């Protein structure tokens, strides 16, 4: 089964954010609308959507820093999971990065999300021993 995938447009924002909420991807310290707008505005990022009967059935945010690509917000509609949507979106995101000459793709998974870890393992992703350090910045405005 071929799943149509395209770049998201501004008009898709509400549907995509609703999908992210339905899939439990939104956390209190992230503003999904700001994340969506930022990804669409930048030359090094995009949101890709899978379409099916009734509209958007999946999405992934993809971006890069010139060396490493990153995947975020991979979502397949809860009633459509297990139908290859996630796999198709990951393949599309990897192709998006490949076209831009990005040699590596990474993602982060919460340690409690073992089902997602198994999904990515089946796609050839492997855990790499790294320490991820972060600092939240106060943004102007």
Give the model confidence (pLDDT) of 65-87 as tens digits: 988 999 999 999 999 998 999 99
Give CA–CA dist 53/83, Å, rounded: 13
* DSSP notation for 39-92: HHH-TTEEEEEEEETTEEEEEEEEEESSSEEEEEEEEE-GGGTTSSHHHHHHHH
pLDDT at 4: 95
Of 70, 74, 45, the closest CA to residue 57 belongs to 74
* pTM as predicted: 0.90
Using CA atoms, how far residue 114 sits from 39, 109, 121, in Å, is 27, 9, 10
Q: Which residue has the higher pLDDT, 112 or 68?
A: 68
pLDDT at 88: 97
């Amino acid at each position: 089964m071929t799943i149509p995938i395209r770049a998201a447009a501004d008009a898709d924002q509400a549907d995509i954010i609703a999908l992210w909420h339905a899939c439990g991807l939104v956390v209190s310290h992230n503003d999904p609308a700001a994340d969506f707008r930022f990804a669409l505005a930048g030359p090094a990022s995009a949101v890709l959507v899978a379409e099916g009967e009734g509209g958007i059935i999946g999405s992934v945010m993809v971006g890069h820093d010139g060396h490493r690509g990153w995947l975020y917000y991979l979502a397949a509609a809860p009633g459509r999971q297990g139908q290859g949507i996630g796999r198709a979106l990951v393949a599309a995101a990897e192709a998006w990065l490949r076209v831009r000459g990005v040699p590596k793709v990474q993602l982060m998974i919460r340690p409690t999300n073992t089902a997602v870890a198994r999904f990515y393992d089946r796609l050839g992703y492997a855990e790499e021993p790294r320490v991820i350090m972060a600092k939240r910045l106060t943004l102007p405005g």
